[in-house]
Amino acid sequence: MIPFSNYVFVCHNNKKAIKFHKVAYNDRLKENRYALKILDRLSKAERRSRTNTPGGNGGGMRQRRPAYSRHSSFDPANLTDDANGHSISDYDSPNKRPSSGVATPVVFSQLQKKLHHIVLTDTPDARSRIQNSKVDINSEEFAKKVARKLFTSLGPNKKRLTLSDFEPYFATQEEAESAFAVFDRDGNNDLSRREMRDTVLAIYKERKALAQSVRDTSQALGKVDIMLLIITAFCTLFTTLTVFNVDIWRSLVPLGSFMLALTFVFGNTAKNTFESILFLFVTHPYDAGDYVIIDTQTLLVANMGIMSTTFIRSDGQEINAPTVVLMTKFINNIRRSGNMGESIYVDVNFSTPSDKLFELRTRMQDFLAANSRDFQPGFDIKLNEIVELNKMTLLLYLEYKGNWQDGGRRWERRNRFMYALKDALTELEITYDLPSQKVVTSQAGDLPSIQAETPQSFSAGLGSARRRNNTGSTFPDPGA
């Protein structure tokens, strides 16, 4: 009876674990699976001609796509084959659900099998699959190669791809628009080589992060399963002995005293464990692969555990943070954030003409309009404060398209803006100079007075090194 009850409990916990994976990773798995399906379709699908002229290939005739598909088609068995024959628009789009209601079972019923097919190593033999008409994105370098060849095959001799370049490879207009939206993340209705590369890289990184997140949560759930299994075994044992009229209450008296003594030793540990489980599976503030900001530090979540989480700093150092400490912190999850921005403060002279400030705003707005793929519109320069008729502080709020999960892309965009701002300030001769202050020094006797102008930043240091004589004149301190 005990083994049977334990078996039922284990099955129940496994069902709960699968349910947690469905709830926690439903959207991410669905979007990543759809993106992989689009890559598979573009690399393998035949080109459909939409012309209906007598001389064209109208009437639904198909036309082989460029030769890229012969060398770089994805393996559908390892990725996202649909055994039920649904088209992409049936359930793969993250914004749509199938009419038959089979989206969730298809995505999660074979989660273990799909994760088994995800190749996460950068082995050289994996790259040789391109000669076997199978492509697995196993490294960032290989993902860039796939993106470059895919862009070339979709639009030969083109610098930008549009929706019309996607339409021949999909059966309906809706499928083509949905597929194009996967790559056109900035929504400007065209696709550059860099956007294609960044999207394919993001798909690779997201797939890798999902596999790691599912692995970590599965390990954590396994530990919870063991703890609950032990508790269930004891409860089942006592219940079974009671059913067979075994007097166990006399044995429970010394056992209860023993357990009471253990509560003083392990009571706090049990409390922390329970709170950590709630924090990890109920609050669920982050997943493996997420960038988070804790106490002004940007950290990468490397591994998640019940009692602690391993983070990696920007300099490569690993930090093990106890879960009980993390529960008391404000955690900003960058990956789950939307469009992010930052405030930039610039000090200028109080005498700077307003016309120059308006010209600076116009130039920076023109720069952002020319780089609309990376920055949001609506940029403005605000006069934040005036400090003692000495300087004016300008506030520039810069909003990016997307979040800062890709740190390299974030700093590359920020550097471009800062260089453009520096050039504009130089050309407009907008500067800030520390105000000068007159310092009068005199020597004993008939020596003439000497007046010198020193920057205000040195006044504090000079003031600490001054002394006055009986007449009130200022002398330099000979001991300084």
Q: pLDDT (tens digit, 9 = 90+) per residue, 359-377?
A: 999 999 999 999 888 899 8
Q: How far apart are CA 353 and CA 362, in angstroms?
A: 15
Q: Identify whether 121 is part of a domain.
A: yes
Q: Identify whether 227 is part of a domain.
A: no
Q: Identify whether 153 is part of a domain.
A: yes
Domain boundary among 209, 225, 256: 209
pLDDT of residue 264: 77
Q: How far apart are CA 161 and CA 164, in angstroms?
A: 8
pLDDT of residue 132: 40
Task: Count how many domains the chain has.
Answer: 3
- For residues 463 and 383, membership in a common domain is answered with no
Of residues 393 and 40, more confidence is placed in 393
The tally of CA atoms less than 13 A away on the side-chain side of residue 241 is 12
Going by pLDDT thresholds of 50, 70 and 90, the confidence category of residue 20 is: low
Of residues 394 and 442, more confidence is placed in 394
Of residues 433 and 261, more confidence is placed in 433
Domain boundary among 159, 176, 209: 209
- For residues 133 and 23, membership in a common domain is answered with yes
Of residues 382 and 148, more confidence is placed in 382
- For residues 465 and 366, membership in a common domain is answered with no
Rounded to the nearest integer, the mean pLDDT of the chain is 73
- For residues 406 and 463, membership in a common domain is answered with no
Place of tokens 């190669």: 145
Distance of CA 262 to the CA centre of its chain: 44
Q: For residues 413 and 374, is the Cβ–Cβ distance under 8 A? A: yes
- For residues 414 and 440, membership in a common domain is answered with no
For residue 54, pLDDT over 70 is answered with no
- For residues 113 and 187, membership in a common domain is answered with yes
* Top-ranked range on mean pLDDT: pick from 82-96, 230-244, 326-340, 428-442: 326-340
Q: What is the DSSP letter of 130?
A: G
Q: Identify whether 86 is part of a domain.
A: yes
Q: What is the pLDDT of residues 423-446, one digit of tens each?
A: 999 999 999 998 877 777 766 555
- For residues 128 and 59, membership in a common domain is answered with yes
- For residues 62 and 118, membership in a common domain is answered with yes
pLDDT of residue 79: 37
Mean of the pLDDT values across residues 183-190? 78
Q: Identify whether 293 is part of a domain.
A: no
Q: Identify whether 391 is part of a domain.
A: yes
Going by pLDDT thresholds of 50, 70 and 90, the confidence category of residue 415 is: very high
- For residues 366 and 460, membership in a common domain is answered with no
Q: Which two tokens stand for residue 271?
A: 């409390």
- For residues 414 and 471, membership in a common domain is answered with no
Q: Identify whether 304 is part of a domain.
A: no
Q: Identify whether 192 is part of a domain.
A: yes
- For residues 452 and 417, membership in a common domain is answered with no
Q: What is the pLDDT of residues 137-164, one digit of tens each?
A: 556 777 778 888 888 888 788 888 888 8
Residue 245 φ/ψ region, left for φ over 0, alpha for ψ in the -120 to 50 degree band, beta for the rest: left
Q: Which two tokens stand for residue 296?
A: 């002004």
DSSP string, 273-326: HHHHHHIIIII----TT-EEEETTEEEEEEEE-SSEEEEE-TTS-EEEEEHHHH
Residue 163 lies in domain = 2-209
